Structure formats: structure tokens, C-alpha cells
Amino acid sequence: MTTQQLFEQIKKKQSFLCIGLDVDMSKIPAHLLGEQDPIFSFNKAIIDATHDLAVSYKPNIAFYEAYGIKGWESLKKTIDYINTNYPELYTIADAKRGDIGNTASMYAKAFFEDMSFDSVTVAPYMGKDSVEPFLAFEDKHTILLALTSNQGAFDFQTQLVGTKPMYQVVLEKSQTYANAENLMYVVGATKAEYFKEIRAIVPNNFLLVPGVGAQGGNLQDVCKYGLNDQVGLLINSSRGIIYASSGSDFKEKAREQALLLQREMSEILKGRL
């Protein structure tokens, strides 16, 4: 999917919500456990209940890998379900990959070709030749970790490299990579005070912003400096939406939580688009 197509969907739905499909078998409603593929059944129910409120879905690959081959099958069924039934939705493989060039090419092939995701999250630590194989794919995005939502972000990402913090070096340097227009960046909602300087470095790229809801980040604070002409933000919430209830009303409660965020987003977008 192109950035323009994503923007069109955001305008249409008045939403820049990304729902994280981080499926933990110990948290899904008990009545689903008897199904042949509980993870897929859960995802299908959540997607059907929320697809008009969200523009994007982000399965975190760890939650599927943890269940071995069955987990990968559930993931493939989920992405195929979205692509077949809701092709306008933007999909993110949250895999946080990163390796030498020939290996990176294989990761890119796995998520872009075999799995048909629109984008994949990538760690920048190994540099240019570990990122460019992902960027080579047309109409696909590479979402580079810049300033993450967790406490450990302060271990390396905010440390000075020369005169600048490492996350700024990541933003600046990656803009020189081939096909840099295919880049998005992860910036945690818990780091709202950094958005102004980040937007000054990358005014045009989309930012994937996890950390609202369960991690305590705030939508209004992120939007103050995070928005750009194309909105430029995908705000992710996983646990806050998908585990709103563990009862038989789980999809209705997930929709309620998604609706709260979508309404807040539509208010924020008023007069901007």
C-alpha cells in the first residue's frame, strides 16, 4: 500500500488507529479455547468488530512464534483474512528484524512476499545494509525503531553519538538510505516530549506510535507535535482494546475502546483535513 492510500483511508475513517493483535492464549475468552484455531477465531472476531474504526492492524510476531507452527498458521490466516475481506486496511508485521544484507533480504521476502504484509518493523542497529533490502520493496514500508516506548530506550537511544542522541542519528542517517521515502519510524507515546524535535528531522514520514493505553501514553500529547499534513501518525493500542473484556462480550468491549480512541482522533482531525 502507498502512503497516499493510507492517508485516503485515514481521511475516510477519521481515524489513525492501529490495533495490535498481540494474542495471548491465557487472556482470550475461555469459550474460544475449544475452537480449532482459537487465535484466528479471536483475531477474526476483533477485526470484524473494529475494522471501520481502525486503519491498521499490527500482529506482534512474538505472540505467534510462541505457539510454533500453529502460531504461524494462525498469523497467515489472519493476514489473509484481512487482505481478502478488508483490503483497504494497512498491515504491520511487528517483527523487529535486523541482520546482514542477504539475511535481511530473506526477512523482507518472508513478510512482504510470503505473508503479504504492507510493512515490517526493523531494528536500525546493524545499519544501512541491514535496512536497505527492506526498502527495496515497492509500495511497502520499513518501520525503523527510533525512540521506543520502554524504559530501556534510555540505555542507548538517548545516549550521545558525537554531539547528538542516537535516535536523532538514526533518523538523520536513515534519510540518506536508498528509497528512504518508504521509511516510517517507531516513536513511543510515552516519549511525547520528544515529538517536536523528531518532527523537525522527519517532517514527512509516518510515525508508528505504540504505548497509549496499557503503557500510559496520551493521545493528545502525541498529536500536539506529531501530526503532519498527511496526519503522519499511526497510534497503536493492543491490550487496551483486545483485552477490554475476557468474557463473551469481548468483541463488543473491544469495539467500545476502539470507538473511544477513534472519536478522540476525529475531534483532533476536525478542521485539519
Ligand X SMILES: O=C(O)c1cc(=O)[nH]c(=O)n1[C@@H]1O[C@H](COP(=O)(O)O)[C@@H](O)[C@H]1O
Task: Give the x-and-dash track for 105-144 against ligand X (CB under 6 A).
Answer: ----------------x-----------------------
Distance CA 25, CA 176 (A): 42
Nearer to ligand X by C-beta: 1 or 17? 17
First to last CA, the chain: 21
Catalytic residue among 44, 96, 109, 224: 96
Nearer to ligand X by C-beta: 8 or 126? 126
Please identify which residue in the block is written with the cell numbers 487472556.
27
Contact set for ligand X, span 201-240 (CB under 6 A): 210-211, 213-215, 236-240
Distance CA 110, CA 93 (A): 10
Interacting residue with ligand X among 41, 43, 91, 149 (CB under 6 A): 149
Cell of 128: 544501512
* Binding footprint of ligand X, residue count (CB under 6 A): 20
Distance CA 243, CA 247 (A): 9
The reply to whether 15 sits near ligand X by the rule CB under 6 A is no
Please identify which residue in the block is written with the cell numbers 476483533.
46
The residue among 266, 271, 267, 226 whose CA lies nearest residue 13 is 266
Strands 160-161 and 164-165: antiparallel
Task: Give the x-and-dash track for 244-273 against ligand X (CB under 6 A).
Answer: ------------------------------
The reply to whether 186 sits near ligand X by the rule CB under 6 A is yes
Q: Whole-number minimum distance, CB 152 to ligand X, in Å? A: 9
Alpha helices in 111-234 (DSSP H): 128-135, 153-156, 166-174, 195-201, 219-226
Q: Whole-number minimum distance, CB 34 to ligand X, in Å? A: 26
Interacting residue with ligand X among 3, 13, 17, 22 (CB under 6 A): 22
Q: Whole-number minimum distance, CB 237 to ligand X, in Å? A: 5
Neighbours of 223 (CB within 10 A): 21
Asked about 96 being catalytic, the answer comes back as: yes
Contact set for ligand X, span 36-75 (CB under 6 A): 60
**Which sequence positions are flagged as catalytic?**
96
